[in-house]
Structure 1
Amino acid sequence: MVTRNRSNILFALIIILLLGIILLMGIGVITPKTEPPEIRQANDGTVAKEFVYQESKKVVTESVGFTADEIENIAVYERYNKAVVNIATEVVGYNWFLEPVPRKGSSGSGSIFDERGYILTNNHVVENAYKVNITLADGELFEGEVVGADPENDLAVIHFDPGSHPLVTISFGNSDSLKVGQKVLAIGNPFAFERTLTTGIISGLGRPLKNDKGIIIRNLIQTDASINPGNSGGPLLNSNGELIGVNTMIYTPSGGSVGIGFAVPAATARRVVPDLMEFGFVQRGWIDIDPVPIFPSLVRYAKLPVNQGILVSRVKPNGNAAAAGLKGGSPDRIVRSGDSIIYLGGDIIVGIDDEPVASIEDFYAALEQSRPGDVIRVKVIRNRREHILNIALDGRTGGTD
């Protein structure tokens, strides 16, 4: 009887032990031995782990726990963030006694594109600055100077002497081949947070936008990569770390980012930077006239034959436009519009090089990529008839004023 009881107790203990083992395996405390994930050497020398998830049949490549997209972001940032600088300016203000005093100016970001100490940024970051302070990634502070500025594209080049300090530079990429949906990365100093990385895609191309000075900047890159105050002048990069744009502004009613940012394309920077470095301004061709955009009340008052175009108010005497036969208005027919005096009776420009000119924006855009000395075909309306004039362009150094 005792032996039978002992056998029953032993059997019960074995059952309890087996149930305990099964329970522990079920909650993961004890796991069966399995083969570890395969570790293979990536082509670039990094160690990658390949995991196969049976639920989704998806293969995810990771390096130290990062996805391929994260690895790309990290690589671009770690290589090029040191080429992004913080820019802070001082401007001249006046106290109650009209004495000049230094005041805090604008701040923004910039990209070192030349190891001699040349930085590309926005014009509005350094405009009217008498002092430019440049802070590198390691915290070292330099004083720089504005070499040249292009208000029409909101670009500027500044320079500082790096001495023996080694510099990391960013090279220009090809912005002409960009596609909507392409990944981009922005590095800058928003709200004084140094060298912040944001990512996104290209949302649109060829966007025109009027800045707060009324200047229309054309062919902008639109992106949803977060661009905030302080990002201005910083680089917009492609996945290879090449500069494809210069972050310039955001579209927002509140001053913060709402997912619509804009950058000046690298193609524009490539075109204007050499002039800024050599001359301090962009050498653009110009028809030496006083242009007046046509508006409805002017059409009615002067009985103009067209509703759109550029009225030639005055032509510079002895200039190229006058030599080509372009006619300005008469001093006997003057009308005032606001603070402007308009001379009536002159030619009306309606086309340049087979492109229609309907507004002052079209007029500037038609001359944007021209150079002094270029000869252009100008279509004008004179006495209600069309005429074609071949005009050699003069030079223009300023903005759109």
Structure 2
Amino acid sequence: MRRERGVWQVLLIIFILGALIGGFIGSVGGYYLLNKNSPASSETKINNVVPTQEVYIPSSLGAFEKDIVAVVKKSMPAVVNISTITLVEDFFFGIYPSSGVGSGFIIDPKGYILTNYHVVEGARKIDVTLSEGKKYSGRVVGYDKRSDLAVIKIDAENLPALPLGDSDKLEPGQFAIAIGNPYGLNRTVTLGIVSALNRTIVEPNGVRLENLIQTDAAINPGNSGGPLINIKGEVIGINTAIKSDAQGIGFAIPINKAKQIADKLIKEGKITYPWLGIRGYAITSDMLDYIKFPVDKGVVIAEVVPGSPADKAGLKGGDRIIYVDSTQIIVGGDIITKIDGKPVESMEELRSEIQKRKVGDTVVITYIRSGKEYTVKIQLEAMPDNLSG
């Protein structure tokens, strides 16, 4: 047995060596014949490779690119750099100057510029630099903390102004171009799309901004106040905020809202908001699994601000606290179901309806108390500067 196994092992080794030697000879011979019969074949293969810089671009894509470039060239002269100096108090109560940078854009050839309020908030000195490099001293004409908008003015005439579009006609998927000065990098252009509409955020200073445009066009510190432009070169929004713990999520104030506020700021210098004076929350389907409300839709009043129109009209806030999945909920208050006969299901809807009215207007509020429906007339007053609702 051992001898037979040894013979087979020797034969196997001879077979493997023969295969290796034969393969080597075949490869060398093939290579020789190939070069002998086709001396330029390797050169021909190299010449047939298409260089990467000559990649074919469809004419429609090229036209789109030209449109983007044209829009940027046309818009750029109306986009400005805003530099500010504010006085800041340190830990030891010392005062020192702090510089800031933001963006803005010209909305009137007479030198009116729209930007974010937080760009010029508390500024002792404002410098506005135009696209060609000329610098002007700017002054605040008016501002509105609640919308985070401000209008500043420079002493210049015949300036290029950007056309304003219609943000009510926007749809997710439309192209969006952001122009601004992120981190002081002047005249930076980024391209994206309208990612979503009607977003709500709360800024670091506590200001609640609603009905915002969400975009993935890159927005960074310094972009604030700059324009968000559509493919036609029209301003559709004012770049305002980003989600700092994410990428590609930026927010812009719709231009239709900004137009109304800018006009009032230019004419009156301030914005006066009508006010009801409540804090509340919407009844949701999840709540109904844990809390027995007399209705399944409406706004539960958690708190009525003392001295507010709602307080004067006799509306009541909650009187006890319950916990649902570790969440504190104030219950027992009146439930608002309608304003002037129109159903409301959330604080956003109620606030939106209130903002459609003017200070001094009277509204009819329909509410539920102890399972019964009531109505009350409330005269809206001007909202105090330090409050909202």
Determine the structure 2 residue equivalent to 1:73.
68
- Ranges in structure 2 where 5+ consecutive residues have no aligned partner: 1-37, 49-53, 284-291, 322-330
Question: In the alignment, which of 314, 318, 343 is matched to residue 327 of structure 1?
Answer: 314
215-224 vs 193-202, greater mean Cα deviation: 215-224
Determine the structure 2 residue equivalent to 1:49.
none
Cα 1:351–1:121 change in 2 (3 A) is same
Determine the structure 1 residue equivalent to 2:134.
140
1:355 matched to 2:354 = no
SS in 2 for 1:139: coil
- Please report how far the alpha carbon of residue 275 of structure 1 lies from its aligned counterpart in structure 2 after TM superposition: 1.4
Question: In the alignment, which of 246, 267, 276 is matched to residue 256 of structure 2?
Answer: 267
- Please report how far the alpha carbon of residue 284 of structure 1 lies from its aligned counterpart in structure 2 after TM superposition: 2.1
SS in 2 for 1:309: strand
**Amino acid in the other structure paired with 1:60:** S
Question: In the alignment, which of 159, 173, 187 is matched to residue 181 of structure 1?
Answer: 173
- Please report how far the alpha carbon of residue 399 of structure 1 lies from its aligned counterpart in structure 2 after TM superposition: 6.2
73-82 vs 210-219, greater mean Cα deviation: 210-219
Determine the structure 1 residue equivalent to 2:9.
none
- Please report how far the alpha carbon of residue 114 of structure 1 lies from its aligned counterpart in structure 2 after TM superposition: 0.5
**Amino acid in the other structure paired with 1:72:** D
**What is the correspondence of 1:87-98 to structure 2 with a 5 Å cutoff?**
87-94=82-89, 98=93
1:218 matched to 2:210 = yes
Cα 1:150–1:68 change in 2 (3 A) is same
- Ranges in structure 1 where 5+ consecutive residues have no aligned partner: 1-18, 30-52, 297-302, 337-343
SS in 2 for 1:78: helix
Tell me how far apart the structure 1 counterparts of residues 282 and 261 of structure 2 sit (CA, whole Å).
Answer: 32
Tell me how far apart the structure 2 counterparts of residues 225 and 95 of structure 1 sit (CA, whole Å).
Answer: 36
CA deviation profile, 1:6-34 (whole Å, cap 9, x unmatched): xxxxxxxxxxxxx99999999879xxxxx
Determine the structure 2 residue equivalent to 1:284.
273
2:195–2:216 contact (8 Å) kept in structure 1: yes
Determine the structure 1 residue equivalent to 2:300.
309
Cα 1:383–1:121 change in 2 (3 A) is same
1:127 matched to 2:121 = yes
2:336–2:344 contact (8 Å) kept in structure 1: no
Cα 1:386–1:273 change in 2 (3 A) is same
Tell me how far apart the structure 2 counterparts of residues 389 and 60 of structure 1 sit (CA, whole Å).
Answer: 64
Tell me how far apart the structure 2 counterparts of residues 92 and 25 of structure 1 sit (CA, whole Å).
Answer: 71
**Amino acid in the other structure paired with 2:382:** G
Cα 1:391–1:314 change in 2 (3 A) is same
Tell me how far apart the structure 2 counterparts of residues 188 and 308 of structure 1 sit (CA, whole Å).
Answer: 40
Cα 1:399–1:177 change in 2 (3 A) is farther
Cα 1:204–1:329 change in 2 (3 A) is closer
2:138–2:154 contact (8 Å) kept in structure 1: yes
Tell me how far apart the structure 2 counterparts of residues 321 and 279 of structure 1 sit (CA, whole Å).
Answer: 29
Q: Give me the CA root mean square deviation.
A: 3.9
Tell me how far apart the structure 1 counterparts of residues 93 and 42 of structure 2 sit (CA, whole Å).
Answer: 86
Cα 1:347–1:139 change in 2 (3 A) is same
CA deviation profile, 1:224-254 (whole Å, cap 9, x unmatched): 1111111111001111111011111111317
Determine the structure 2 residue equivalent to 1:206.
198
Determine the structure 1 residue equivalent to 2:59.
60
2:299–2:336 contact (8 Å) kept in structure 1: no
Tell me how far apart the structure 2 counterparts of residues 175 and 240 of structure 1 sit (CA, whole Å).
Answer: 13
Tell me how far apart the structure 2 counterparts of residues 283 and 314 of structure 1 sit (CA, whole Å).
Answer: 18
SS in 2 for 1:70: helix
Tell me how far apart the structure 2 counterparts of residues 314 and 193 of structure 1 sit (CA, whole Å).
Answer: 45
- Please report how far the alpha carbon of residue 151 of structure 1 lies from its aligned counterpart in structure 2 after TM superposition: 2.2
SS in 2 for 1:130: strand
- Please report how far the alpha carbon of residue 281 of structure 1 lies from its aligned counterpart in structure 2 after TM superposition: 2.1
- Please report how far the alpha carbon of residue 100 of structure 1 lies from its aligned counterpart in structure 2 after TM superposition: 4.2
Tell me how far apart the structure 2 counterparts of residues 159 and 233 of structure 1 sit (CA, whole Å).
Answer: 14
Tell me how far apart the structure 2 counterparts of residues 24 and 93 of structure 1 sit (CA, whole Å).
Answer: 70
1:174–1:244 contact (8 Å) kept in structure 2: yes
Tell me how far apart the structure 2 counterparts of residues 184 and 100 of structure 1 sit (CA, whole Å).
Answer: 41
SS in 1 for 2:71: helix
2:117–2:144 contact (8 Å) kept in structure 1: yes
Determine the structure 2 residue equivalent to 1:300.
none
Determine the structure 2 residue equivalent to 1:374.
361
* Paired positions, count: 326
- Please report how far the alpha carbon of residue 269 of structure 1 lies from its aligned counterpart in structure 2 after TM superposition: 0.9
- More helix as a share of residues: 2
CA deviation profile, 1:88-129 (whole Å, cap 9, x unmatched): 21112236774544322x321001001111111111111122
- Please report how far the alpha carbon of residue 346 of structure 1 lies from its aligned counterpart in structure 2 after TM superposition: 7.9
**Amino acid in the other structure paired with 2:59:** V
1:109–1:232 contact (8 Å) kept in structure 2: yes
**Amino acid in the other structure paired with 1:81:** M
Determine the structure 2 residue equivalent to 1:396.
383
- Please report how far the alpha carbon of residue 153 of structure 1 lies from its aligned counterpart in structure 2 after TM superposition: 2.1
TM-score norm. by structure 2 comes to 0.71
Determine the structure 2 residue equivalent to 1:233.
225
- Please report how far the alpha carbon of residue 158 of structure 1 lies from its aligned counterpart in structure 2 after TM superposition: 1.1
**Amino acid in the other structure paired with 2:271:** V
Cα 1:243–1:22 change in 2 (3 A) is same
Tell me how far apart the structure 2 counterparts of residues 313 and 397 of structure 1 sit (CA, whole Å).
Answer: 14
Determine the structure 2 residue equivalent to 1:34.
none
Determine the structure 2 residue equivalent to 1:45.
none
CA deviation profile, 1:57-84 (whole Å, cap 9, x unmatched): x9626xxxx9111111111111110101
Question: In the alignment, which of 187, 199, 206 is matched to residue 195 of structure 1?
Answer: 187
1:184–1:237 contact (8 Å) kept in structure 2: yes
Tell me how far apart the structure 2 counterparts of residues 212 and 194 of structure 1 sit (CA, whole Å).
Answer: 25
**Amino acid in the other structure paired with 1:110:** G
